[in-house]
Amino acid sequence: MINIDLSLTLTEIAAWFGAAGTVVLTVFEIYKYKKDKAAIKIRVTRNLDIIGSTAQGKLIKLNENVWCIEIINYGTKPIKILQVGVLFKEHTHKKKGAIITRDMYADINPFVLEAGDNKTITIGEELLKSQEIDYVQVVDATGKQHKQKARF
């Protein structure tokens, strides 16, 4: 018969607790490292109407069929956006895509999105024929391209 002695000294118990704690802490640090970055989400909404009011308080339709491209940084680090553009479907357009340099209100220059921030770009349908657009694309300062399928 084999006799196994499973008694541990206080030093050995402390060593095992230390080793287990180190493993848990290492896994947690790897998780934090992976999560600690900027993360972009693109939301595309189309066929919206812009409604305003006159000085007398009467509602009027200012523009029809606009696109809203919302860029959201849901990560934990700020990120610089260099370009916003669209990619065309291959069979409908001669060019591969277009860069959007102006929305309905102002020029679109490179901008920084802090953690939790968003930016909305509003574009008239007359500038973008929706049947030709396949993706909306955002390029950040690292050169990474973020794409969102334009659904119709």
pLDDT (tens digit, 9 = 90+) per residue, 56-93? 777 777 666 778 889 999 888 899 999 998 888 776 66
* Rounded average pLDDT over 35-42: 84
Position 23 scores a pLDDT of 95
pLDDT at 37 over 90: no
* Rounded average pLDDT over 140-146: 90
Same domain? For 24 and 44 the reply is: no
Task: Tell me if 142 sits within 8 A of 84, measured CB to CB.
Answer: no
The torsion angle over the Cα atoms of residues 86, 134, 112 and 75, rounded to 10 degrees, is -170
Same domain? For 48 and 27 the reply is: no
Domains: count for the chain: 2
The percent of residues in the chain predicted with pLDDT above 90, rounded, is 23
Please check whether residue 2 lies inside any domain of the structure.
Answer: no
Same domain? For 83 and 129 the reply is: yes
Q: For the chain, what is the radius of gyration of the CA atoms?
A: 26
Please check whether residue 3 lies inside any domain of the structure.
Answer: no
Please check whether residue 133 lies inside any domain of the structure.
Answer: yes
Same domain? For 99 and 30 the reply is: no
Distances (CA, A) of 7 to 4, 10, 29, 44: 9, 10, 33, 64
Type and span of the H or E element at 146: strand 145-149
Residue 136 belongs to domain spanning: 40-149
Same domain? For 31 and 74 the reply is: no
Task: Tell me if 111 sits within 8 A of 80, measured CB to CB.
Answer: yes
Please check whether residue 92 lies inside any domain of the structure.
Answer: yes
Q: How confident is residue 103, by pLDDT bands cut at 50, 70 and 90? A: confident
